[in-house]
Amino acid sequence: MQEIEIRNLSKQFDVKGHVVDALRGISLSIEKGDIFGIIGMSGAGKSTLVRSINFLEKPTDGQVFVGGVDLASLSGRELRKKRSEIGMIFQSFNLLEQKNVLDNVCFPLELAGIKKKEARKKAKELLETVNIADKEKAYPSQLSGGQKQRVAIARALATNPKILLCDEATSALDPQTTESILRLLKEINEKLDLTIVVITHQMSVVTQICKKVAIIEAGSVVEEGLVEDIFAAPKSDAARELILEKKVRYTPVEALHAHRRIRIVFNENSSEEPVIANLILKYRVPVNILKADTKNVGGKARGEMILGLPEGEKLQEDMIESLRKSGLTVTEVRENV
């Protein structure tokens, strides 16, 4: 069942007399109960897209269906009611500094007309859910970044939403705290059967928590599919850059000169085989390991390496074919990545 369906969505802005295409013909389907990632570099259009899902940004063209309802068909009052089914958390937390933790979570309940006693009971339950009940009397200035985000998640869950939008929700957090927040989101997804949309520029976030992902570049979706498939064999330049990370340095490049660079990804069957040693023994030429890493992809450990192959196109093709026969996924690494 489709929880969110986006059809041919476009959004234009008028900036000082010039039309800027923020989104161009985007179509996506997000299933109920899924954790769906939308990833791209800064300026790709991610935040505009997520704000279009709840019609905080009304599209120039196209349609957005939430729970089968076309948001453009709703009146202002109906749209506000529909938005209560869509919670949202942000990078900056957006907590009310003058209110304590409990009152921050109570705030949307009170706006919805819930009596104070009932609101406080519900807020306390939500603070238990996000494991921060002991901080109910603290103020935002007394909390760490991870604690603030837990409060923000509790507040977003206050109206019993069916969808949770996470706009760069872990970007301001350190890696350890990010991991704990992602675990929490996964627990909430499973416990509440909540559909979660994760907007991020970090592939590590997507690989840890998301089942499916859409890669967005210059306002367009350039690749979409299962996270494990795209991680193993990215087809678009944007996906390759996000997976390999442009900031990665193949150190020392000068010392490890490579005529051709490839990326290999190990699956469960190939992870224990000494494939690199076997490759060197078979062809009797050196193979440089320029990068090696293990990542969590959908709850499974996936090993990856960047290899520098020796000179000779025929030799390179033979080595790549040999790696593929060993059960490895092999993709090219371009010089500008």
Number of domains in the chain: 2
pLDDT confidence of residue 257? 56
Domain final position from 236, 269, 301: 236
pLDDT tops 90 at residue 127: yes
Q: Going by C-beta distance under 8 Å and a sequence separation of 6 or more, which residues neighbour residue 227?
A: 37, 206, 207, 210, 211, 212, 213, 297, 298
pLDDT tops 60 at residue 334: yes
**For residue 57, which of 75, 74, 71, 43 has the smallest C-alpha distance?**
71
Question: Is residue 175 domain-shared with residue 302, that is, in the same domain?
Answer: no
pLDDT tops 80 at residue 18: yes
Question: Is residue 226 domain-shared with residue 303, that is, in the same domain?
Answer: no
Question: Is residue 226 domain-shared with residue 325, that is, in the same domain?
Answer: no
The amino acid sitting at 44 is: A
Question: Is residue 19 domain-shared with residue 76, that is, in the same domain?
Answer: yes
Residue 93 lies in a domain: yes
Place 300 in a pLDDT band, splitting at 50, 70 and 90.
confident
Question: Is residue 205 domain-shared with residue 79, that is, in the same domain?
Answer: yes
Q: Which of 9-23, 61-75, 211-225, 287-301 has the lowest mean pLDDT?
A: 287-301
Compute the average pLDDT of residues 28-49: 92
Compute the average pLDDT of residues 179-190: 92
Question: Is residue 197 domain-shared with residue 252, that is, in the same domain?
Answer: no
Question: Is residue 206 domain-shared with residue 301, that is, in the same domain?
Answer: no
Residue 243 lies in a domain: no
Question: Is residue 277 domain-shared with residue 226, that is, in the same domain?
Answer: no
pLDDT confidence of residue 335? 54
Residue 321 lies in a domain: yes
Question: Is residue 63 domain-shared with residue 212, that is, in the same domain?
Answer: yes
Domain holding 290, by residue range, is 248-332
Q: How far is CA 98 from CA 72, 114, 126, in A?
A: 36, 21, 20
Residue 310 lies in a domain: yes
Domain final position from 175, 201, 236: 236
pLDDT confidence of residue 26? 95
Residue 25 lies in a domain: yes
Give the CATH number for residue 191: 3.40.50.300
Question: Is residue 210 domain-shared with residue 268, that is, in the same domain?
Answer: no
On the 0-12 / 13-18 / 19+ scale of CB atoms within 10 A, 116 is exposed
Residue 337 lies in a domain: no
Residue 214 lies in a domain: yes
Question: Is residue 181 domain-shared with residue 308, that is, in the same domain?
Answer: no
